Amino acid sequence: MPTPRVAILMGSDSDLPTMRGAANVLISYGVAHEVKVLSAHRSPARTVAYVEAAPDRGVQVFICAAGMAAHLAGVVAAHTSLPVIGVPLQSSAGLAGADALYSTVMMPPGIPVATVGIGGAKNAAHLAVRILALADAELAARIAEHRVDMDAGVAAKNERLDTLGVDGYLAEKEG
């Protein structure tokens, strides 16, 4: 197994379907990572032990996802000097993820959590890759390629839209 450079942590296995998006982005960049269920509330000692041991195992960035009263990212940030990216998740409680967003983003000065949007698993991974790329020229080149690909994708859509018109474009997209 390659040394994991990114740790994707989540409060529950019910978060996995969303966080698969983060893992897939890291796979697309060829960034070694590991995925763990660790709860700030249900398994506090296990969570802290994992975070404290992670740097020696090669982990350089943490992505922490949780819903409801989401304290995972904050607790991880309290126990490491490595960058922590928080992903607030929507839960079934009916607050549409605003509960987790506030819990994750409002950290006290000195203990930062770089918080992405609600359910922003993919962007968390893109941000982790950008952090790693500061000291990894190969990864930086792959990010540049990805940006070119995105631009080409937008250009292709406009070309199709010009060719088909709005109704034809939507018919093709939906059909």
Residues that bind ligand RP5 (CB under 6 A): 10-12, 14-15, 39, 66-68, 89, 91
Residue nearest to ligand RP5 (CB): 11
Q: Which of 39/123 has CB closer to ligand RP5?
A: 39
CB of 65 to ligand RP5, least distance (A): 7
Q: Which of 10/139 has CB closer to ligand RP5?
A: 10
CB of 17 to ligand RP5, least distance (A): 11
Q: Which of 89/129 has CB closer to ligand RP5?
A: 89
Provide the 10 A C-beta neighbour count for residue 107.
18
